[in-house]
Amino acid sequence: MTPLSEPFARFAEIFARVNAELPRECFPDANAMSLATADAHGRPSNRIVLLKAFDDRGFVFYTNYDSRKGSELLVNPYCALCFHWPPLELQIRIEGRAERTSDSEADAYFASRARASQLGAWASIQSRPMEHAGDLERRLAEFEARFEGVSVPRPPNWSGFRVVPARIEFWRNRSSRLHDRTVYERDGDGWRVETLYP
Ligand SMILES: Cc1cc2nc3c(=O)[nH]c(=O)nc-3n(C[C@H](O)[C@H](O)[C@H](O)COP(=O)(O)O)c2cc1C
């Protein structure tokens, strides 16, 4: 049985390489990943979010729980992440269940954000139609006034999800499309490892 930590350690090694080797000016969002969710009828949707933390428990991003992705995950927690770093010719696919992060974890991350981003989290009714041009700026001004001179608290509907993986695939480009694919499938306290045809 492959130990629980192995694919996380492998992810950490690749992510360290990504951060060391991809120049920020060409590749500013090296922590960007696609997040696929599905609604209650199984209809999928997909968007980019930023990986903000990871360890042997899973992969964390932050968002508005009332957004489309947030409300979908609260009904159907099964989801998929995908990273692609073209200069390194690597792809990592992660499938699992999204769990809410703890309030204290979300508070700590929210407190580390720039004040403008904290205010933006209050002002944006993420994924909802905007009735009038300028509504976002008006809401932003309201929250700037409301929190003037005090620290901005985390909005109650803004928090993190931790994607707890059941499957992680490491893909590496090879010539003539003979790519390497290694899949870790969760099996009890460890992982079953397989190589797939490209
Ligand atoms: C590079 C990049 C990073 C993003 N990071 C986040 C993020 O961490 N959290 C988030 O809620 N939206 C993020 N977004 C915006 C989402 O892609 C999406 O537009 C938004 O969350 C609304 O999605 P939804 O309506 O499907 O919920 C990011 C977009 C881009 C292009």
Of 35, 49, 72, the residue with max ligand 1 atoms within 8 A of its CB, to mutate for a pocket test, comes to: 49
Distance CA 170, CA 153 (A): 38
Known catalytic residue at 177? yes
**47 SS3 class:** strand
Centre of ligand 1 to C-alpha 189, Å, is 33
Structural domains in the chain plus CATH codes:
6-112+157-195 (2.30.110.10)
How does pLDDT run across 74-99, given as a tens digit for each residue? Answer: 999 999 999 999 999 999 999 999 99
Q: Which pLDDT belongs to residue 176?
A: 87
Residue 1 CA, chain-centre distance (Å), reads 28
> Does residue 50's CB lie within 6 angstroms of at least one atom of ligand 1?
yes
Average pLDDT estimate for 1-17: 94
Q: 198 falls in which pLDDT band (50, 70, 90)?
A: very high
How does pLDDT run across 101-137, given as a tens digit for each residue? Answer: 999 999 999 999 999 999 999 999 999 999 999 999 9
Q: 171 falls in which pLDDT band (50, 70, 90)?
A: very high
How does pLDDT run across 19-59, given as a tens digit for each residue? Answer: 999 988 888 999 999 999 999 999 999 999 999 999 999 99
Kindly list the distances between the CA atom of residue 173 and the CA atoms of 66, 88, 164, 170, 198, in Å, as whole numbers in the listed order.
38, 9, 26, 10, 9
Centre of ligand 1 to C-alpha 48, Å, is 5
Smallest CA separation from ligand 1 atom 19, residue: 47
Does the structure show a pLDDT above 80 at 1?
Answer: no
